[in-house]
């Protein structure tokens, strides 16, 4: 391969814009075998690979890429799974441009290796071949562990512990497992069939999954201990939507992004009335916020038939927290970015439905605590936007139910659970936590990383408790 060739990534096919804005099928189509091999060829197989530093779970990147070069896709998938039990998910939704790919040396001269796409390719390949179930490696004493929440953090802990021979029961309050992967991230970015394949994989490993169990209501953490669990992992996510507390926010047509996305994704509202749960979308939709949640809400709105969809964000394009690929997809699809703008109130019609949104222009001032320049309102710059649907996507915080019903579980002022970073142990004995409930809304892979840590912490705890070691 010559130097020039090496600089350019192998493009991945996408569904055309005109088609995809009318359907919920996956936008990115994935690599073919030839494309994956070509992309793998570009990797320099660095002896001291920088890319791995950018991956929160230390995926052995050059090693798995080498196996792709050799045509051993199953081997490559198994290699990844040593560190990352959800590669089909991460390959699709990791913000690679800020993680592994950001550090790839080729990125200095050209396009970094498309590590995510390769990860996606091998795991899709493996899934289509039929996944094999690994042997359990019983290592020391075993115990009974409860997992609360079935998002990426919980799934990771469950898989790691069951493989070590522990008895694992997972409790999920919704009717299907998967957390945000099921209810938040839309079908066109992460098909639900893939999430369900991952859930059935951990079931096959021997994890008992109990859906419809809201911990804090049906059982408290203490009741679970009394029931014989040796340790409990809390991976309940950051599911409580934030509102803006501005007038008119309770009008019809004003959704939290969570309500909107749950109706669309989990309840399949886009197939109403074949499915029973309705979702109403207007002609002019404003989505407030600039993260992944906002992009997903905007792109769902378009697919549900909205004519104009606005992203209303109070900072500028450079500060958008969304994955770059998704912001680009949104722009391509015709989402209108109304930047440096903040809503101040909603007005409604006589039936109580939102009919307009008053906004104020913002400008960027001094950097704030997050290091980003703080948006400041420009006095007197109020203007009205003509909207009949508004979706508020300004962030989520942890649901307080478990924290409220568990004595001795300390939290920060933001409601996140305090843990020891090395072990994932919370302040109450036997309780571990990780993922968004600890970090605040973050990423799939960071939740999985925290899950890995907690699984190791729980395993050690059980060894000590049961005198195995």
DSSP bridge partners of 55: none
Could you say which of another protein, ligand SF4, ligand FAD, none residue 61 binds, taking C-beta under 5 to 8 angstroms by partner kind? ligand SF4
C-alpha separations of 266 from 63, 179, 191, 301, 439 in Å? 36, 10, 11, 15, 24
Measured distance CA(91)–CA(123) in Å, rounded: 9
**Residue 94 in contact with ligand FAD, rule: CB under 6 A:** yes
Q: Who's near 218: CB < 8 A, 6+ residues apart?
A: none
Binding segment for ligand FAD (CB under 6 A), chosen from 77-85, 88-96, 106-114, 223-231, is 88-96
Binding segment for ligand FAD (CB under 6 A), chosen from 128-136, 176-184, 248-256, 416-424, is 176-184
**Residue 153 in contact with ligand FAD, rule: CB under 6 A:** yes
Residue 288's SS3 state is strand
Site for ligand FAD in 232-291 (CB under 6 A): 235-237, 239, 261
C-beta of residue 321 within 8 angstroms of C-beta of residue 289: no
Q: For residue 58, which of 93, 83, 79, 90 has the smallest C-alpha distance?
A: 83
Q: Who's near 420: CB < 8 A, 6+ residues apart?
A: 457
Q: Who's near 220: CB < 8 A, 6+ residues apart?
A: 405, 406
**Residue 292 in contact with ligand FAD, rule: CB under 6 A:** yes
| Residue 376 C-beta: closest distance to ligand SF4, Å | 35
| Residue 240 C-beta: closest distance to another protein, Å | 6
Site for ligand SF4 in 408-447 (CB under 6 A): 445
**Residue 96 in contact with ligand SF4, rule: CB under 6 A:** yes
Could you say which of ligand FAD, ligand SF4, another protein, none residue 246 binds, taking C-beta under 5 to 8 angstroms by partner kind? none
| Residue 350 C-beta: closest distance to ligand SF4, Å | 50
Q: In what order do the strands lie in the sheet with 336-338?
A: 254-256, 389-392, 284-288, 308-312, 336-338
**Residue 224 in contact with ligand FAD, rule: CB under 6 A:** no
Q: Who's near 4: CB < 8 A, 6+ residues apart?
A: none
| Residue 436 C-beta: closest distance to ligand FAD, Å | 4
Site residues (CB under 8 A) for another protein?
173-175, 183, 211-214, 217-219, 239-241, 243, 245, 249-253, 255-256, 258-259, 262-263, 267-268, 272-278, 280, 351-353, 399-401
Residue 95's SS3 state is coil
Cβ proximity to ligand FAD: between 39 and 326 the closer is 326
Cβ proximity to ligand SF4: between 60 and 457 the closer is 60
Cβ proximity to ligand FAD: between 90 and 359 the closer is 90
Considering only 67, 100, 185, 458, the residue that binds ligand FAD (CB under 6 A) is: 185
**Residue 59 in contact with ligand SF4, rule: CB under 6 A:** yes
Q: What mask, x for binding ligand FAD by CB under 6 A, covers residues 406 to 435?
A: -----------------------------x
Could you say which of ligand FAD, ligand SF4, another protein, none residue 274 binds, taking C-beta under 5 to 8 angstroms by partner kind? another protein
Cβ proximity to ligand FAD: between 40 and 304 the closer is 304
C-beta of residue 115 within 8 angstroms of C-beta of residue 41: no
C-beta of residue 155 within 8 angstroms of C-beta of residue 181: no
Site for ligand FAD in 203-222 (CB under 6 A): 214-216
Other beta carbons less than 10 A from residue 130's beta carbon: 6
Could you say which of another protein, ligand FAD, ligand SF4, none residue 435 binds, taking C-beta under 5 to 8 angstroms by partner kind? ligand FAD
Binding segment for ligand FAD (CB under 6 A), chosen from 122-130, 169-177, 299-307, 418-426, is 169-177
C-alpha separations of 353 from 245, 286, 416 in Å? 17, 14, 35
C-beta of residue 118 within 8 angstroms of C-beta of residue 39: yes
| Residue 435 C-beta: closest distance to ligand FAD, Å | 2
Measured distance CA(348)–CA(146) in Å, rounded: 46
Cβ proximity to another protein: between 101 and 173 the closer is 173
Report the greatest alpha carbon distance in the chain.
Answer: 70
Alpha-carbon dihedral sign for residues 311, 313, 316, 321: negative
* Alpha-carbon 442 to chain mean position: 8
Cβ proximity to another protein: between 245 and 370 the closer is 245
Query: What are residue 50's phi and psi, to 5 degrees?
Result: -65, -40
Beta strands in 47-150 (DSSP E): 144-148
Write out the DSSP string of 241-263: EP----TTTTSBTEEEHHHHHII
* Per-residue exposure over 115-129, b if at least 16 CB sit within 10 Å of its own CB, e if not: bbbbbbbbbbbbbee
Considering only 115, 279, 392, 393, the residue that binds ligand SF4 (CB under 6 A) is: 115
**Residue 401 in contact with ligand FAD, rule: CB under 6 A:** yes
Residues that bind ligand FAD (CB under 6 A): 93-95, 148-154, 171-174, 179-180, 184-185, 214-216, 235-237, 239, 261, 292-293, 296, 323, 399, 401-402, 435-437, 441-445, 447
Residues that bind ligand SF4 (CB under 6 A): 43-46, 49-51, 55, 57, 59, 61-62, 84, 90-91, 94, 96, 99-100, 104-106, 113, 115-116, 119, 445
């Amino acid at each position: 391969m010559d130097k020039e060739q090496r600089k350019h990534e192998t493009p991945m096919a996408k569904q055309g814009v005109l088609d995809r804005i009318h359907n919920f099928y996956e936008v990115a189509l994935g690599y073919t075998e030839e494309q994956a091999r070509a992309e793998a060829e570009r990797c320099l197989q660095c002896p001291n690979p920088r890319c791995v530093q950018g991956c929160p779970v230390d995926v052995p990147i050059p090693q798995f890429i080498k196996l792709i070069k050799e045509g051993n896709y199953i081997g490559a998938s198994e290699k990844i799974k040593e560190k990352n039990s959800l590669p089909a998910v991460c390959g699709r939704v990791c913000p690679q441009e800020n993680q592994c790919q950001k550090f790839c040396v080729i990125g200095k001269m050209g396009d970094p290796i498309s590590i995510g796409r390769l990860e996606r390719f091998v795991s899709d390949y493996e899934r289509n071949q039929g996944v094999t179930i690994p042997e359990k490696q019983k290592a020391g004493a075993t115990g009974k562990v409860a997992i609360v929440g079935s998002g990426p953090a919980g799934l990771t802990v469950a898989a790691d512990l069951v493989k070590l021979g522990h008895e694992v029961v997972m409790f999920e309050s919704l009717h299907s497992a998967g957390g945000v992967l099921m209810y938040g991230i839309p079908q066109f970015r992460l098909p639900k069939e893939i999430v369900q394949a991952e859930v059935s994989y951990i079931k096959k490993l021997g994890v008992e999954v109990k859906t419809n169990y809201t911990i804090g209501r049906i059982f408290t953490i203490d009741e679970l201990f009394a029931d014989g669990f040796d340790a409990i992992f809390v991976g309940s996510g950051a599911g409580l939507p934030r509102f803006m507390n501005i007038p008119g926010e309770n009008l019809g047509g004003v959704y939290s992004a969570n309500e909107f996305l749950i109706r669309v994704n989990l309840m399949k509202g886009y197939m109403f009335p074949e499915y029973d749960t309705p979702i109403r979308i207007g002609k002019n939709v404003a989505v407030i916020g600039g993260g992944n949640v906002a992009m997903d809400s905007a792109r769902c709105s378009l697919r549900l038939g909205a004519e104009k969809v606005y992203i209303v964000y109070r900072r500028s394009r450079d500060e958008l927290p969304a994955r770059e690929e998704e912001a680009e997809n949104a722009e391509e699809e015709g989402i209108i970015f109304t930047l440096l703008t903040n809503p101040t109130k909603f007005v409604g019609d006589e039936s109580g439905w939102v009919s307009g949104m008053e906004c104020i222009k913002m400008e960027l001032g001094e950097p704030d605590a997050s290091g980003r320049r703080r948006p400041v309102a420009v006095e007197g710059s109020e203007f009205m936007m003509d909207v009949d649907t508004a979706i508020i996507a300004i962030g989520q915080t942890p649901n307080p139910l478990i924290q409220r019903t568990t004595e001795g579980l300390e939290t920060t002022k933001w409601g996140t659970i305090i843990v020891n970073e090395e072990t994932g142990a919370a302040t109450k004995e036997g309780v571990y936590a990780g993922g968004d409930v600890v970090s605040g809304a973050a990423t799939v892979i960071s939740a999985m990383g925290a899950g890995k840590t907690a699984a190791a912490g729980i395993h050690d705890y059980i060894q000590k408790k049961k005198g195995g070691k």
